[in-house]
Every structure is written in C-alpha cells, then in structure tokens.
Amino acid sequence: MSFLACRIYKETDSNGVKSTLRRIERMHLDELSPGDLVVRVHYSGVNYKDALAATGRGAILKHFPLNAGIDLAGVVVSSSDPRFAPGQAILVNGCGLGESHDGGLAEFARIPSDWAIPLPQGLSMKQAMIIGTAGFTAGLAIHRMLSNGQNHDLGPIVVTGASGGVGSMAISILSTLGFDTIAVSGRENFYQYLSDLGANRVCSAAQLALSERPLDKVEFGGAIDNVGGQLLSQILAHTQLWGNVASIGLADTHQFNSSVFPMILRGVSLLGVSSTNCPMPLRKEIWSRLATDLKPLSLDKILAEEVALKDVSAVFNPLLDRKRYGRTIVKCLT
C-alpha cells in the first residue's frame, strides 16, 4: 500500500549547487523512520519551523530525505506497545518529529510510542492541531510564567508577533485566564482580529514608544516574545518587579543585546521555552491543561485555513514572508 507525504530532499545540481526541494509524493510504510506505532494521520499543521524546513530557509532537518511536519493528530493503526491499541486517538508534537524523524505531513507516520500522547478528553483531533505546536508553546510559556509567580496584579502581558500562530494562541489563552494583554503586531489589518481574540490594546512596536535605556519606567507585568532582537531587550527593561518574560521566537532575529539590570534590580525572569525538548511529563501536563483551564476560547477565529495535504506546498513561503496569520492546519485523511 502506498500513501501521500510531503517529503523534503536536499539535491545537488550539475554545478555542485545544493538546494532544498519538497515533493508531494507517494511512499510506502517500510520507508518511514522506525517506530513501534503506526499512525493514520488525520490532521497536521504548518508551523514556522515546518516552513523553514520545507523551503530550506532554515537548517532544521538533521538528514534527508524526510517527511516534514513537527506535529500530528491521528489514530493508531498498529502497536507493539501494550499502552496503545489500534483505534486509539493520539497526538505528537516535538521530540524530533519532522526534524530527525519522518513527520506529520503525510497520510501515515511511524513513531516511537514514548512520543505519543493519548488525545486529551475535551479536544478533537482537529482542535488539537489548531492548537498544534504553536498553542503548545504558548501554553508552555504561560505555564512557566504562572509557576514563577506571574499574576494579574503585576500588570498587562505584552505579546509580540501577535497575529502569528503562537501570538494568537497566547492572546487567546491569556484572555481566558483574565489577564490584560497588549498585542504587538506589525500589520494593522490584523488589529481587529487581535481585539476579537481578547487583546485589550493592539499596537505596533513603534507605538509602544519604548526607550533604549537598560532600565526604564515599568510598562508590562510580563511578556511573551516571538520576535527576538531589540524589541525583546526593550521589553525586558520595561518589565515590572518580579515579572516574567518568555522568549519563544526569532521572527525578527535570533540576536539580542541586553543588560543584567532588569534581572538584578527588578528580579525579572527571562524564561526559556523549548517545545521540541520539553520533558514528557511536563508535555503531558501542558496538553492536559490545553484541554481544560488553558483551552483557547477562540479556536474557530484562530483557524485561518484548512488545506489538503496535496496543497500544503503553497503555504510555506507565504508564512515566512509574513503573509499569513493564526493557524493553518492540514487535513491528511482523505
């Protein structure tokens, strides 16, 4: 039996020039990376990292060829692990899926059973992939902030790169929890969308009018940052005593210059958030919370588009070129 997959190749032309190519092509189960669970994938999603991997605009894949897709939700077809039975719905995100192991943008996947999370009650497979790695990462950041003392009294949480997948999820979850939020977006045409997700204020980075001093007037209780660079440095300098700044992304740049003043004079914490390497007990806890108290209320609004697997190739470049918003999910079950 053959099935469809979005498979990424690195090829060298006759002049020795290397390029990354993606093909929607048919393959067989025994060609997939090894694992003790075979899964019929129902939904996957398109994340920033998938777009970097599929276009070759980021060095994400550890070897070639490889099926793209860092997350999936599907149904177990066969299992040699007694914890999982055929017919059971599961999800996977991170752990090397779509980076070192054939990923979720395919009709079938074969994975180590230790990576599988039984689909939490309260989430459909489609909802799990609207949330996807973006929502998982936002949830992980918020969980870390709350565990480290973030509370409503510290002031509003500023979210950068707000119209993207992680940003949209963060605004929605924080609003559900009753936090005031400031959505920072470079695109005015998404201001109404961000207000509809629950943002209390929506503005550009320039409109925040932050200084470049290493420490300045308190403006934010905390932050979820998707862009890196100068904006992250400025936000740190304007964060409340004992506030938390979660560093998630590099949509602007991976570089970042700051001083120690926010940390040593205000007790500000800069929290790292790594969805790929999150330990499994914490990963399960976050997914369980995403189905209950951290469940984003605005999933329908955040779902920008559902595309068929055969059409996924067209999504990658526009996502990196800041032409999309919210979440794009991929229907892999035909």
Ligand X SMILES: NC(=O)c1ccc[n+]([C@@H]2O[C@H](COP(=O)([O-])OP(=O)(O)OC[C@H]3O[C@@H](n4cnc5c(N)ncnc54)[C@H](OP(=O)(O)O)[C@@H]3O)[C@@H](O)[C@H]2O)c1
* Closest residue to bound ligand X by CB: 164
Residue 187 binds ligand X (CB under 6 A): yes
As a whole number of angstroms, the distance between CA 277 and CA 15 comes to: 38
Which one among 5, 128, 319, 329 touches ligand X, defined by CB under 6 A? 319
Nearer to ligand X, 110 or 238 (CB): 238
Which one among 60, 197, 248, 302 touches ligand X, defined by CB under 6 A? 248
Query: In angstroms, what is the minimal distance from the CB of 155 to ligand X?
Result: 22
Stretch that binds ligand X, among 80-88, 133-141, 149-157, 293-301 (CB under 6 A): 133-141
Which one among 103, 164, 222, 262 touches ligand X, defined by CB under 6 A? 164
Residue 250 binds ligand X (CB under 6 A): yes
Which one among 44, 47, 240, 298 touches ligand X, defined by CB under 6 A? 47
Place of tokens 């565990």: 147
As a whole number of angstroms, the distance between CA 206 and CA 317 comes to: 26
> Which string of b and e fits 120-147 if b means at least 16 CB within 10 Å?
beebebbbbbbbbbbbbbbbbbbbbbbe
Query: In angstroms, what is the minimal distance from the CB of 287 to ligand X?
Result: 15
Residue 137 binds ligand X (CB under 6 A): yes
- DSSP conformational letter for 275: S
Residue 252 binds ligand X (CB under 6 A): yes
Binding to ligand X (CB under 6 A) within 273-312 occurs at 273-276
Backbone φ, ψ for residue 246 (5° rounding): -95, 120
> Which string of b and e fits 242-270 if b means at least 16 CB within 10 Å?
bbbbbbbbbbbeeebebeeebeeebebbb
Contact 123, 43 (CB under 8 A): no
Binding to ligand X (CB under 6 A) within 71-130 occurs at none
Strand partners, 330: 44, 307
Q: Is the dihedral of CA 136, 137, 139, 144 positive or negative?
A: positive
Residue 166 binds ligand X (CB under 6 A): yes
Contact 107, 40 (CB under 8 A): yes
Quick one: which of 302, 330, 303, 334 has its CA closest to 316? 330
Query: In angstroms, what is the minimal distance from the CB of 249 to ligand X?
Result: 2
Sort residue 2 into left (φ over 0), alpha (ψ -120 to 50) or beta: beta
Query: In angstroms, what is the minimal distance from the CB of 91 to ligand X?
Result: 16
Query: In angstroms, what is the minimal distance from the CB of 31 to ligand X?
Result: 28
Stretch that binds ligand X, among 132-140, 206-214, 259-267, 302-310 (CB under 6 A): 132-140
Binding to ligand X (CB under 6 A) within 224-243 occurs at 226-227
Q: How many residues bind ligand X (CB under 6 A)?
A: 30
Which one among 66, 251, 271, 302 touches ligand X, defined by CB under 6 A? 251
Residues that bind ligand X (CB under 6 A): 47-49, 133-134, 137, 161-167, 185-187, 190, 226-227, 248-252, 273-276, 319, 322
